[in-house]
A and B are shown apart, each in its own frame.
Chain A
Amino acid sequence: MTLKEVAQTVEAEFLNLEDRADEEVNTACAADLLSDVLAMRGDAALLITGEAAPQVVRVADVMNIRAILYVRGKRPQKKDIIRWATQRGIVLLSTPLPTFEVCGRLYKAGMRCSECPEDEAA
């Protein structure tokens, strides 16, 4: 699904890079612990997180994650973090919904789990 569809499905707003709304993101992971994201296998296009600390965008960068979806209305507190994400090409979205609802809706809409083995989904 596209980032725009993601945003519509979970009532999220773009915090930057809205011009990339038509980009496809097909795999997602949910995590609040940065160490968990750093230990992930597989490529996640979308990170769903309730952690808004500035390190999150850097973890996303290292893990080649293309978009971060902040839940429960969270968002980076500092403007320069959003600017940095923009420079590194990481799309930031924010939704008022909690993680469970977000994952549930996206799962139903066909988003795949980035940490699941490919063959299992088939």
Chain B
Amino acid sequence: MDRQVFAYSVVSTGSFDDVGVVSTEIKRDLEEAGVEKDTVRRVAVICFEAEMNLALYTERGGNIQVVVEPDRVDIYVEDDGPGIEDVEKAMQPGYSTAPLWVHELGFGAGMGLPNMKENSDIFEIVSELGKGTKIHSVVFRRKEDAA
């Protein structure tokens, strides 16, 4: 098994109720593909944060593609939403443009992008105002400890 590609679309329904549905699906797919636990968790966390952002900031949602290779997992997130005004600022822990009601739901703590980066070995983000945002994240696979 060399390379497996999984594609998902995240539909923004205007409600947060469905956030995480795609990420748990991704988790299950990677588990079934035999990807080790630690890698699955990191990929799923990255995707979860991406899903939150899509639900929070885009009207239509976006796409997530996960490519499993023997030594790495690539995650591509793409949307045609409003874009991020100041990417550098958005990468700072605690920086959030989310309104209070979002905080009350347990989102918007300003940890989304920083946490995606934290779980990635390579993290690239390109955003253009009015055009959308593209994220490419790489998680290198590590052999599990014997335990």
Contact = CB atoms under 8 A, between A and B. Distances in A.
User: Are A and B direct contacts in the complex by CB distance below 8 Å?
Assistant: yes
Interface in B33-49: 37, 41, 44-45, 48-49
A25 to B, nearest CB: 18
A64 B41 contact: yes
A59 B16 contact: no
Nearest to B115: A39
B106 A62 contact: no
A114 to B, nearest CB: 14
Interface range for B: 20 to 34
B68 interface: no
Interface stretch (B21-29, B77-85, B137-145): B21-29
A56 B17 CA distance: 10
Interface range for A: 10 to 19
B72 to A, nearest CB: 20
Given A35-B112, A36-B111, A64-B37, A88 B24 contact: yes
23 contacts: A33-B103, A33-B106, A34-B52, A34-B106, A34-B107, A35-B52, A35-B109, A35-B112, A35-B115, A38-B45, A38-B48, A38-B49, A39-B111, A39-B115, A53-B16, A53-B106, A54-B17, A55-B16, A58-B21, A61-B20, A62-B24, A62-B41, A62-B45
